[in-house]
């Protein structure tokens, strides 16, 4: 759990930095997150409301979808969190708005952090934009070396079409 202490906040601005393990946000079983997560935040307390800007930095270990090589992707994401007693603000049903009252000591923000980090992982994982992938015949990583596979001829059922002549081809 990643708890944010509400009682420690004084009126005005508070800045903190730290490092957490992936298990603090329930990512210990994730294939991507093995590196520590750098967490820094700026909290502005104005009356009974607190506005928090959280910055997350980590490295994700990913497998390229084309060449199957491991690579590291640096991740940096921000979360805006609001702690409020305003019921109207809570009715907006936004994810990172938490209700606090006089008895609230801590807020668990691990769900917001976890979701933000997971959404930072790209759907299509590529080690680089121009990744050539693997040869479909021999499995050679084409980023490292070319393979010596002979490209198979097209389906023989289409060979008849190669004999077709069109008027513009005959001129």
- The domain ranges of the chain are 3-119
Six-digit token string for 2 = 């990643």
Check residue 150 and give its pLDDT: 72
Encode pLDDT of 38-89 as tens digits: 999 998 988 878 888 999 999 999 999 999 999 999 999 999 988 887 777 7
Strand order in the sheet with 37-46: 12-20, 37-46, 49-63, 70-84, 97-99
Q: Are 94 and 153 in contact (CB under 8 A)?
A: no
Q: Return the C-alpha torsion angle 77, 117, 126, 34, nearest 10.
A: 120
């Amino acid at each position: 759990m990643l708890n944010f202490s509400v009682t420690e906040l004084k009126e005005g601005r508070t800045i903190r930095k730290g490092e957490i393990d992936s298990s603090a946000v329930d990512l210990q079983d994730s294939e991507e997150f093995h590196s520590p997560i750098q967490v820094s935040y700026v909290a502005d307390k104005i009356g009974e409301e607190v506005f928090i800007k959280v910055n997350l930095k980590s490295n994700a270990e990913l497998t390229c979808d084309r060449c199957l090589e491991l690579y590291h992707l640096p991740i940096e994401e921000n979360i805006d969190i609001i702690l409020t007693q305003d019921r109207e603000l809570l009715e907006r049903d936004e994810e990172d708005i938490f209700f606090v009252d006089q008895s609230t000591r801590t807020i668990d923000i691990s769900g917001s952090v976890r979701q933000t980090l997971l959404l930072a992982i790209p759907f299509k994982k590529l080690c680089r934009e121009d990744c050539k992938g693997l040869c479909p015949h021999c499995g050679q990583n084409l980023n490292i070396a070319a393979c010596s596979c002979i490209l198979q001829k097209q389906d023989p059922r289409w060979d008849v079409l190669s004999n077709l002549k069109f008027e513009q081809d005959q001129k």
